[in-house]
C-alpha cells in the first residue's frame, strides 16, 4: 500500500515537494496536491507585468503540465483538521498519512482602512494588472511605495520596485516631474543585511529616491490622497503603491495550527506540534534570534527539500532525516540591466550569514537559470 501524502497549496514550496517526492518515492507514495488556482506564477515575474514588460499569460505555468506522478486537484480548501489529517474542499474530502501545509501568506487589504478605496497593491496578479493600466497615465507628482506591515514576502521587492519605477519614469521622460518615496516600518531597507541596506540606500541617493524609515501607515484618507502615519504627521501622495499587511489564509487561521499569527514548526524537520503534519514556506514562522526567517520562495523551496528528505528517510530508511538549514539565494533587479544576489544561510553554519553580492550585469543569466531550471523541472509536459 502506498502512503498517502497530501500537500495543501501548489506554490513554490508545494510544487517543489510534490515534484521531489515524484522523483524519489514514486513507488512508495501517492501524492495529492491541492490548489484553488489552475496556474502558478513566480513572485518576481509579477513585476514584469507591473512595468508592462510581460503579459499575464506569459508568466503563468499551468498545473495540467505538472509531472504525471502528481495527482493535482483544483479545489478550494475549506477546512483542515490536523489531529486526524482530514481536509475538506469545495469538491470532496481527503485524509493523508502525511499532511503538508504550504498555503502561503494572504494579503489583508482591510487591515489598512481606506486602502481598498484609494491605494493599490503590487503583490498579487490582479494588483499588478491594475497598476499596469494606471502607471502609463501617471505623468507627474508623488509616487509613494509603502510597506504596510511586517512580515512581508521577499523583503527586497519594494526596493527593487522603486528602482524599476525610477527607470520606467526615466524611459518615459517624466522622472524630473516626479518624486519617488519609499516608506517602511523598518529602520533600514533590509534589517538582515547591512551591506544590502547600504547598497540600496546608495542606489536610492544616486537616483534621487527618498527612503523614509520607521514609517508605519495606519490608514488612508482617500479624499485628500493622504496616508496617516503612526505617531507622526501625514504623507501626501498622488499614486500609492503598497505591500499590504500579510496574514495566514483564513482556512489556516481556523485550523488550530496557528500560534502567534503563523504556524510554528520544529525548525529542524519542519513538523508542526501535530504528528505527521508539516508546514513549509510563507505560512510558517521560524525564529532566527529575535527576528524570523524571511518569507521567500528560495526558503520555501529549501523547506520542501527538507520535508522530502524526512519523508524518504521515514518511509525507506535511506538518506538522512530532514535538516533545515535556512539557506537560499534570491536575485533582485536593480535597474539598468543589473541584478544583485543575496546568499543567505541562517542555520547551516555557526551563525546566520547573509551575503549581498552585486548588483552586476553578469547575474542576469543566474536569475534566468534560477527560474527556468525550476519551471522546466516542475512543468515537464
Ligand X SMILES: Cc1cc2nc3c(=O)[nH]c(=O)nc-3n(C[C@H](O)[C@H](O)[C@H](O)COP(=O)(O)OP(=O)(O)OC[C@H]3O[C@@H](n4cnc5c(N)ncnc54)[C@H](O)[C@@H]3O)c2cc1C
Rounded Cα gap, residues 212 and 188, in angstroms: 9
Work out whether strand 339-345 and strand 327-333 pair parallel, antiparallel, or are unpaired.
Answer: antiparallel
Cβ at position 37, least distance to ligand X in Å: 5
Q: What is the crossing angle of helices 363-378 and 12-24, to 10°? A: 60
* SS3 label, residue 298: helix
Sole window of 99-107, 171-179, 205-213, 346-354 interacting with ligand X (rule: CB under 6 A): 99-107
Q: Which stretch binds ligand X (CB under 6 A): 102-110, 136-144, 198-206, 214-222?
A: 102-110
Max CA pair span of the chain:
68
Residues 230-269 that bind ligand X (CB under 6 A): 249, 251
Other Cβ atoms less than 10 A from the Cβ of 245: the count is 21
> Which CB sits closer to ligand X, 75 or 118?
75
The C-alpha atoms of residue 377 and residue 233 are separated, in whole angstroms, by 50
| Interaction residues for ligand X, span 9-28 (CB under 6 A) | 9-14
DSSP codes, 119-130: -EESSSHHHHHH
Minimal distance, residue 370 CB to ligand X, in Å = 8
Q: Which listed residue (5, 21, 33, 46) binds ligand X by CB under 6 A?
A: 46
Which of residues 3, 26, 28, 37 is near ligand X by CB under 6 A?
Answer: 37
- Residue identified by cell 502512503 is 3
**Residue 360 is placed in which grid cell?**
552586476
Q: Which of helix, strand or coil describes residue 21? A: helix
Q: How far is CA 84 from CA 81, 113, 244, 254, 357, in A?
A: 6, 38, 34, 15, 46
Stretch that binds ligand X, among 30-38, 65-73, 184-192, 344-352 (CB under 6 A): 30-38
Q: Closest approach of Cβ 351 to ligand X, in Å?
A: 22
What string marks each residue from 329 to 368 as x (binds ligand X by CB under 6 A) or -? -xx-------------------------------------
Q: Which of helix, strand or coil describes residue 275?
A: coil
Query: Does 308 participate in binding ligand X (rule CB under 6 A)?
Result: no
User: Of residues 19, 21, 44, 183, which one binds ligand X by CB under 6 A?
Assistant: 44
148 and 229 in contact (C-beta within 8 Å)? no
Provide the residue count of the chain. Answer: 381
Q: What x-and-dash track marks residues 206-235 binding ligand X by CB under 6 A?
A: ------------------------------
101 binds ligand X (CB under 6 A): no
In order of 118, 208, 234, 236, 237, the CA distances from 224 in angstroms are 10, 25, 11, 8, 9
Residue nearest to ligand X (CB): 11
Shortest Cβ 73–ligand X spacing (Å): 9
Question: Cα 105 to chain center, whole Å?
Answer: 8
Q: How far is the CB of 317 from ligand X (least distance, A)?
A: 28
State how far the Cα of 317 lies from the Cα of 30, in Å rounded to an integer. Answer: 18
Cβ proximity of 273 and 284 under 8 Å? no
Give the binding range for ligand X (CB under 6 A) out of 42-50, 180-188, 197-205, 344-352.
42-50
Q: CA-to-CA distance for 182 and 157, rounded, in angstroms?
A: 12
Per CB under 6 A, 154 contacts ligand X: yes
122 vs 211, beta carbon nearer ligand X: 122
Q: Which DSSP state fits 237?
A: -
Least CB distance from residue 140 to ligand X, whole Å? 26
Binding residues for ligand X, total number by CB under 6 A: 35
The residues in 116-145 that bind ligand X, with binding defined as CB under 6 A, are 123
What are the cell numbers at 291?
527576528
Among the listed residues 25, 31, 35, 262, the single contact to ligand X using CB under 6 A: 35
Closest separation in Å from C-beta 299 to ligand X:
7
Residue numbers 274-303 binding ligand X by CB under 6 A: 281-283, 295-298, 300
Under the rule (CB under 6 A), what is the footprint of ligand X? 9-14, 34-37, 43-44, 46-47, 76-77, 102-104, 123, 153-154, 157, 249, 251, 281-283, 295-298, 300, 330-331
Amino acid at each position: 500500500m502506498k502512503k498517502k501524502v497530501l500537500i495543501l497549496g501548489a506554490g513554490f514550496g508545494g510544487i517543489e515537494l510534490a515534484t521531489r517526492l515524484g522523483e524519489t518515492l514514486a513507488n512508495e507514495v501517492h501524492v495529492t496536491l491541492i490548489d484553488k488556482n489552475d496556474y502558478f506564477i513566480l513572485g518576481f515575474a509579477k513585476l514584469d507585468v507591473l512595468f508592462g514588460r510581460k503579459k499575464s499569460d506569459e508568466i503563468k505555468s499551468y498545473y495540467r503540465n505538472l509531472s504525471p506522478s502528481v495527482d493535482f486537484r483544483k479545489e478550494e480548501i475549506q477546512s483542515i483538521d490536523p489531529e486526524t489529517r482530514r481536509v475538506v474542499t469545495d469538491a470532496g474530502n481527503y485524509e493523508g498519512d502525511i499532511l503538508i501545509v504550504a498555503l502561503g501568506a494572504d494579503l489583508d487589504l482591510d487591515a489598512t482602512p481606506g486602502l481598498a478605496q484609494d491605494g493599490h497593491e503590487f503583490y498579487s496578479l490582479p494588483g499588478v494588472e491594475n497598476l499596469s493600466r494606471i502607471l502609463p497615465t501617471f505623468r507627474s507628482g508623488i509616487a509613494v511605495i509603502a510597506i504596510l506591515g511586517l512580515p512581508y514576502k521577499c523583503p527586497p521587492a519594494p526596493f527593487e520596485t522603486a528602482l524599476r519605477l525610477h527607470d520606467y519614469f526615466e524611459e518615459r521622460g517624466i522622472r524630473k516631474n516626479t518624486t519617488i518615496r519609499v516608506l517602511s516600518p523598518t529602520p533600514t531597507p533590509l534589517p538582515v543585511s547591512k551591506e544590502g541596506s547600504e547598497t540600496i540606500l546608495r542606489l536610492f541617493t544616486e537616483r534621487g529616491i527618498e527612503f523614509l524609515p520607521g514609517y508605519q501607515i495606519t490608514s488612508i484618507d482617500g479624499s485628500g490622497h493622504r496616508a496617516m502615519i503612526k505617531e507622526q504627521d501625514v504623507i501626501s501622495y498622488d499614486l500609492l503603491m503598497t505591500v499590504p499587511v500579510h496574514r495566514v489564509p483564513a482556512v489556516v487561521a481556523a485550523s488550530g495550527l496557528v500560534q502567534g499569527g503563523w504556524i510554528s514548526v520544529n525548525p529542524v524537520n519542519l513538523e508542526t506540534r501535530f504528528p505527521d503534519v508539516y508546514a513549509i514556506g510563507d505560512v510558517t514562522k521560524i525564529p532566527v534570534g529575535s527576528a524570523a526567517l524571511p518569507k521567500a520562495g528560495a526558503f520555501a523551496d529549501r523547506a520542501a527539500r527538507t520535508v522530502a528528505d524526512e519523508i524518504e528517510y521515514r518511509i525507506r530508511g535511506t538518506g538522512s532525516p530532514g535538516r533545515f538549514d535556512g539557506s537560499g539565494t534570491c536575485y533582485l533587479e536593480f535597474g539598468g540591466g543589473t541584478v544583485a544576489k543575496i546568499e543567505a544561510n541562517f542555520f547551516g553554519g555557526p551563525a546566520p550569514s547573509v551575503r549581498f553580492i552585486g548588483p552586476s550585469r553578469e547575474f542576469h543569466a543566474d536569475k534566468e537559470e534560477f527560474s527556468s531550471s525550476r519551471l522546466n523541472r516542475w512543468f515537464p509536459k
